[in-house]
Structure 1
Amino acid sequence: MMLMLWFPLDLCPDVAGFGLHTRILEMSNTDRNWMYERLDADGFISPIFRKGLKNFIEFACSNPSFMDGEKIKCPCKKCLNRPYREVEDVMLHLCKFGFIPNYYLWDRHGEKTTACTSSQKDDTTMSLNEQHEPSYREMVLDVAGPDFMTRHIDEEPNPEDKKFFDMLKAADRELWIVYQKAIPWLIVYMRQKKLIQGLGLLVELIDCCMYGCMLYWRGDKDLDQCKFCEAPRFKKSRNSFKCSRVPFARMHYLPLTPRLKRLYASQATAAFMRWHAQDHGHDTGVMCHPSNSEAWKQFDVIHPLFAAEKRNVRLGLCTDGFQPHGTSGSQHSTWPIIITPYNLPPSMCMKEPYMFFTAIVPGPKNPKQKLDVFLQPVIAELKDLWEEDTVTYDVSLRQNFQMRAALMWTISEFPAYGMLSGWAAKRSKDILV
């Protein structure tokens, strides 16, 4: 059986980024079996699925009457063709969860026909691996994006990055076989915990002075009281006069370097990290991205060695305080510190997945002029990224390189700008004194 679909010229407009025009689609009985052959023998996203997924996205974006602006319906097993999502999010969901069963006819995306292939697969014919996707693989894809693995690697990843690639293979181990061998659940749990730690995105907990005078960090990590105000570090135990090991205040710090390296471990982002150095044909004098600014160009002139490696990362830092309990709740000021890589194009760099939550300043009081105390770990890591090369694997070019990073800007409202700079800000005159 051969089904011919013809789309009139007025129904197939050119779509930006896809260049899709009038075409004749020929579908045999097995043309869309790729939809349910997501993983190859090694457990990676199969090439045939990636190719078919690209064709599906092109088709879905060629029917604006079935879209919500630039969003399309997500046909994954989780969304079930109900919500509209960004194209990148739909690709990620389909790589994580797969297509809903028997969606061979793309009628929710504009395919108009009364018949479809006669060999649609039944749910029971799907492989066990396809129906019961390991949760670990979903966590890895959450971090890395949909297309991050490739089976043909020209250069072997460095030992540190290789752990991340090995984690996908480890995630495919069938735990039900382990259970059948009567291994205690505690041992299985510890193995799972160790596997998750392979992501390498851990959180550092750093004790603070209750008044924000200092951090118990690096050379001061063993102190029991503040070296400025002599306030105790730990709370007293209720049952005795001895101090417990529970600190009065503690900040959370998420190291930046591992997440920058993950941008190059993902096929979904690695190539876009060089976007800023490409010619995009913008009009002279029009700034569409920070790379068009005079500050960026002047930085390249002052630091030519840094600019010579297009994969070096340009960063922006922003912070501001808010009350998590609202104005009607208890007064509690919390200050998140967010860092954004500006190598990415405008459509990506300002989206939530690429705004890295790096640290949180504990409350309940506003840190005011002591904000720099809590920025110490951030500044130390930024200095290391500037002064020292970090061996990173670029999956798009399949090679290792020496990555560096530079903080280009800080972004905040005017009072917070005064706190970050250490200057006094007068809001009424909009000046720093």
Structure 2
Amino acid sequence: MACELVNNILDKADINAVKMFKLNIKGWLTRQAFAGIRSLFSDELNLNSEWKTIQRMHQLAEIEPQWYDCCIRGCMAYTGNYSELDVCQYCKEPRHNQQGKSKRQYCYIPLIPRIKGFFQNKSMIKLMQYRHNYSIDPDAISDVFDSDGYRNLLTRHVVVDGQKLPHKYFDGKYDIAFAFWHDGHQLF
């Protein structure tokens, strides 16, 4: 049914854009590789530029992207305490070109609208209940939810700004457990 729905809503160009976007956000494509694929397959596929592809994905997802300046070499993002810097702290590359425009930007897709989007899709809601429905096996570790860290959180009350709240971590059916692993891969 999902394929039928996709085929009725999205045209071939949109489907190709979704596929390229997936490759891009998974971290499998550099900007050069993205451009190379567009060039190599231009006779068979009508692929938009990376920028146009990102814009189209935001249109389809109805999520407004946020663009941030970053070092041309990917050393740092010009955000927070670094938002006013004009030169990279690490490689000393200038932030802007001669016309005063940022040499490079990365796209941040805000988290909250993405999570809200999950709850607008029945199959995603069901998938997101995996954690709630998961049965912990105290004698085996076959999922992150079997880990000591997660099990420890289940016994603790949530504390916000030093205030102990009446509920425990992951009490609710729709609570979301976030985890972040980093292997040294460039984030932007």
TM-score, normalised with respect to structure 2: 0.54
Residue 251 of structure 1 aligns to a residue whose secondary structure is strand
Could you list the structure 1 runs, at least 4 aligned residues long, displaced by more than 4 angstroms after superposition.
210-214, 218-221, 227-231
Identity among equivalent positions (%) equals 18
5 Å-filtered alignment, 1:164-203, equals 197=59, 199-203=61-65
| Distance in 1, Cα, partners of 2:4 & 2:89 | 55
Give RMSD over aligned pairs. Answer: 3.8
Deviations 1:254-295 (A, max 9, x none): 322222222221101102322222264x65412332222221
Cα drift, residue 202 of structure 1:
3.9
Query: Is 2:112 aligned against 1:250?
Result: no
In 2 relative to 1, CA 212–289 (structure 1 residues): closer, same or farther, beyond 3 Å? Answer: closer
| Distance in 1, Cα, partners of 2:80 & 2:60 | 24
Whether the aligned pair in 1 keeps the contact of 2:65 and 2:107 (CA below 8 Å) is yes
In 2 relative to 1, CA 320–213 (structure 1 residues): closer, same or farther, beyond 3 Å? Answer: closer
In 2 relative to 1, CA 198–269 (structure 1 residues): closer, same or farther, beyond 3 Å? Answer: closer
5 Å-filtered alignment, 1:358-377, equals 360-361=187-188
| Distance in 2, Cα, partners of 1:214 & 1:272 | 35
| Distance in 2, Cα, partners of 1:245 & 1:278 | 53
- Could you say which residue in structure 1 is the equivalent of 2:94? 232
Query: Is 2:79 aligned against 1:204?
Result: no
| Distance in 2, Cα, partners of 1:227 & 1:95 | 46
Q: How many residues are aligned here?
A: 138
Structure 1 unaligned spans of 5+: 1-90, 98-132, 144-192, 237-243, 322-334, 337-359, 362-433
Cα drift, residue 297 of structure 1:
1.2
5 Å-filtered alignment, 1:16-415, equals 91-97=1-7, 133-135=8-10, 197=59, 199-210=61-72, 214-217=76-79, 221=83, 223=84, 225-226=86-87, 228=89, 232-236=94-98, 244-278=99-133, 280=135, 284-304=138-158, 305=167, 306-320=169-183, 335-336=185-186, 360-361=187-188
Deviations 1:15-56 (A, max 9, x none): xxxxxxxxxxxxxxxxxxxxxxxxxxxxxxxxxxxxxxxxxx
Whether the aligned pair in 1 keeps the contact of 2:145 and 2:151 (CA below 8 Å) is yes
| Distance in 2, Cα, partners of 1:227 & 1:212 | 10
